[in-house]
Amino acid sequence: MDNTDYLTQGHTVRRYDSELAGLHGQLRAMGELVVQQLQEALALGRVFDMTRARQLIAHDSEVDRLEVAADESIFELIARRCPVGADLRVVITVSKSVSDLEKIGDEAVRIVSLILEELANTEGRKDRAKVQPELDRIGGMALAGLVDAVGLFEVWDEGKALRVLESYREIDSEFKSELRSVMTGITRDGLPISSAVNFILMAKSFERIAHHAQNLAEYAIFEMKGIDMRAEN
């Protein structure tokens, strides 16, 4: 069920509606960018393109810029409109969401930085190939959860948000299982300590991204229904 009615009731001052819609627009733009970052990070683990890796790290400044712009819009709207009720929930949701999205961007950059360390030597590439299937599975789960969560900013659907949360609960145990697989592969193949640490850090970054995606779904439910899902867990 689409729960966008509360967004379309409108205010006497139409510019206020436009300002609230603008916050959602900034949130969507930032969400789309971090999804792209994670997609690029996953691709770089297979193609080993140092130039693309460095470009992706440099592009993280755009995520930071969008976060600052959203914060400025929020502060201005609070000062001008003193939002309450459903309007205040919009402001809180956007504020919390852009913070999590910025953290997701940081995790994507961390993953790429670790890949750059591997690119520095041929052995690093060979080491990664030994655990690539496990890292691909973990990264794929994180990306799927993020795409679904960011999609909530376009279609405000309570049922979909609840499914995102349920999906996270299901894959949380899979993350732990796959992380053990990575560590087993590291032990089995006798990888160097430096490579082993890098791969474990990558897996943990994917896990943190999935957790941030869960937060985004909780914020969406809060905006739509005024329910703090943290109290429900």
User: What pLDDT shows up at residue 167?
Assistant: 78
User: Do the Cβ atoms of 165 and 229 come closer than 8 Å?
Assistant: yes
157 to 66, 86, 104, 210: CA distances (angstroms): 25, 16, 23, 20
Please name each of the domains of the chain with its CATH number.
5-231 (1.20.58.220)
Q: Three-state DSSP class for 157?
A: strand
pLDDT tens, 181-226? Answer: 667 766 776 777 777 788 888 888 998 999 999 999 999 999 999 9
Q: In whole angstroms, what separates CA 44 from the centre of its chain?
A: 18
User: Do the Cβ atoms of 147 and 196 come closer than 8 Å?
Assistant: no
- Positions in the chain short of pLDDT 50: 1, 6, 8
Q: Three-state DSSP class for 2?
A: strand
Identify the residue whose tokens are 């592969």: 185
H or E, element range at 121: none
User: Do the Cβ atoms of 55 and 62 come closer than 8 Å?
Assistant: no
H or E, element range at 166: helix 158-189
Tally the C-alpha atoms within 13 A of residue 110's C-alpha that lie toward its C-beta: 18
